[in-house]
Each structure stands twice: as C-alpha cells, then as structure tokens.
C-alpha cells in the first residue's frame, strides 16, 4: 500500500503568507536576515503592516514558516511511491537530505535565521527553536514509519536528533556541488548508528540466551551441579 502523507497541514498554505515569506527571504538575500524589518517587507509588497501582522505576529514567525515549508517539502517527497521501498536507514537519509536541499538556494539566509533565533538574549526564541527541532525530528520518524515505543522510541529520537543537527550544521557551510559532502556525512552517521544498534541488539540477544540457560548461568556463578 502506498504511503499516505500524514501531515496535518495537508491543506495548501495560504498564498498571501507564502508571498510575504518569499519577499522577506528575498530582501534578506540582498542584505541579511538580521537587518530586515516587517515594515520593509510590507513596503516592498505594497501592502500595509496590518496585513503582515494578520499572518505573522513577529519576525520569528517567518523563521518558523520557513522551516514549516521545509517540513512540507520533506513530507511531500515521503509520499512518493518509491519511498516505501527504501530501508529504514535510507528513508531517514532521504528525508533529512530532502529537508535540507529544499532550502539549498537560500542556504545563507537559512544560516542567518538560525543565528538570529539563537542569538544571546533571545531566550524565548531559543525555546521555540528547541521545540522546532523536536517537531521536525518527529516528522522524520513519522515519514520513515518508525513505530518504536517506550525507551526504544526515546533512543531513536535522541540518535536521530544528533544526526540531524550534525548534518544540518555541516550543510550550512557546505559549498560542494549538490551538497554532496553533506550527503556523504549523513550516510556515514546513519551507518554508524545502524551498526551500533545492531551490535547492541546482538549483545542483548546473547545475554538473554546465556541467562535463560540454567547450566550456563550456574557456570557463570561458579556453582555447577554434578
């Protein structure tokens, strides 16, 4: 059965909101994200500031909308028929890489957005940034159909978050063609995580087998019954 997009925001994004975001990003490309102001975006678009405020209550809402757009691009890719035939590792790789490359042409602005969000003194934005990271990682796992529960689920989230952040940080400064170096780094990190997971699972299985065998358990305790 083909994978169905589970994005709760499956409705097309509001065209005016998208247009405001596009103008803001375009202005930031000409200067910097730090320097742009919402009134400048309104003036550039020929609309009043009240219209902008109806969609974005503050400048950081534009940053959230920017990464929401990347989430949508990733989920749209995961809805393609060929995605379901990939292995779990390949799915995570494809989803993270798709998320990044959806912003490839605006890498400079994406980097500046993060700098703005995590700037010293922007504590409230930093909290939102952490929530954003968690939300995006959840969508990676949903797209990849990772259905673990309890401690295993927590472990997957922690590992995936670490891989995502390491890859994201590398991509922000990756000038290689098509972000090739980022793709290779992501592959290495995922293979390493997969190998560790398999090794841990094998060790647990071996331990379970040993402790379930009474004779071996007695030998380990030094009390073999003759």
List pLDDT tens digits, range 2-29. 333 344 445 667 999 999 999 999 999 9
Other residues' Cβ atoms within 10 Å of the Cβ of residue 2: 9
**Residues 150, 146, 139: CA angle, nearest 5 degrees:** 100
pLDDT at 8: 42
Inside any domain, residue 195: yes
Question: What is the average per-residue pLDDT within 117-133?
Answer: 72
- Give the side-chain half-sphere CA count within 13 A for 17: 17
Question: What is the average per-residue pLDDT within 109-124?
Answer: 79
Inside any domain, residue 134: yes
In this model, does residue 212 exceed pLDDT 70? no
Inside any domain, residue 20: no
Task: Report how far residue 59's alpha carbon sits from residue 154's, in angstroms, rounded to the nearest whole number.
Answer: 32
8 Å CB contact between 136 and 207: no
In this model, does residue 206 exceed pLDDT 60? no
pLDDT at 121: 62
Inside any domain, residue 168: yes
Task: Mention every residue, 6+ apart, whose C-beta is less than 8 A from residue 102.
Answer: 69, 70, 73, 74
Q: How confident is the model at residue 223 (pLDDT cuts 50, 70, 90)?
A: very low
Share above pLDDT 70 across residues of the chain, in percent, rounded to a whole number: 78
Inside any domain, residue 217: no
Q: What is the CATH number of the domain that holds 140?
A: 1.10.357.10
Domain count, the chain: 1
Task: Report how far residue 13's alpha carbon sits from residue 21's, in angstroms, rounded to the nearest whole number.
Answer: 11
- pLDDT tens column, 43-60: 999 999 999 999 999 999
Question: What is the average per-residue pLDDT within 213-219?
Answer: 49
Inside any domain, residue 11: no
Inside any domain, residue 119: yes
The DSSP string of 39-75 is HHHHHHHT--HHHHHHH-SSHHHHHHHHHHHHHHHHH
In this model, does residue 203 exceed pLDDT 70? no
This prediction has a pTM of: 0.80
Q: Which domain holds residue 176?
A: 58-211
Sole residue written with tokens 């009134």? 39
8 Å CB contact between 10 and 72: no
Inside any domain, residue 103: yes
**Residues 195, 198, 199: CA angle, nearest 5 degrees:** 85
């Amino acid at each position: 059965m083909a994978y169905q997009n589970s994005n709760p925001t499956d409705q097309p994004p509001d065209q005016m909101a998208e247009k405001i975001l596009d103008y803001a990003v375009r202005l930031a490309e000409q200067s910097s994200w730090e320097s742009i102001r919402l009134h400048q975006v309104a003036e550039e678009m020929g609309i009043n500031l009240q219209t902008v405020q109806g969609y974005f209550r503050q400048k950081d809402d534009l940053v959230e909308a920017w990464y929401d757009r990347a989430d949508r691009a990733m989920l749209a890719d995961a809805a393609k028929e060929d995605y379901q035939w990939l292995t779990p590792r390949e799915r995570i790789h494809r989803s993270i890489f798709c998320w990044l490359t959806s912003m490839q042409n605006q890498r400079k602005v994406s980097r500046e957005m993060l700098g703005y969000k995590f700037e010293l003194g922007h504590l409230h934005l930093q909290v939102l940034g952490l929530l954003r990271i968690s939300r995006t990682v959840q969508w990676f796992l949903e797209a990849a159909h990772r259905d673990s529960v309890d401690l295993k689920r927590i472990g997957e989230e922690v590992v995936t978050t670490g891989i995502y952040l390491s890859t994201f940080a590398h991509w922000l400064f990756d000038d290689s063609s098509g972000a090739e170096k980022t793709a290779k780094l992501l592959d290495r990190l995922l293979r390493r995580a997969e190998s560790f997971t398999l090794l841990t699972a094998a060790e647990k299985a071996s331990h379970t087998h040993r402790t379930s065998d009474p004779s071996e358990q007695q030998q380990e305790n030094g009390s073999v019954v003759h």
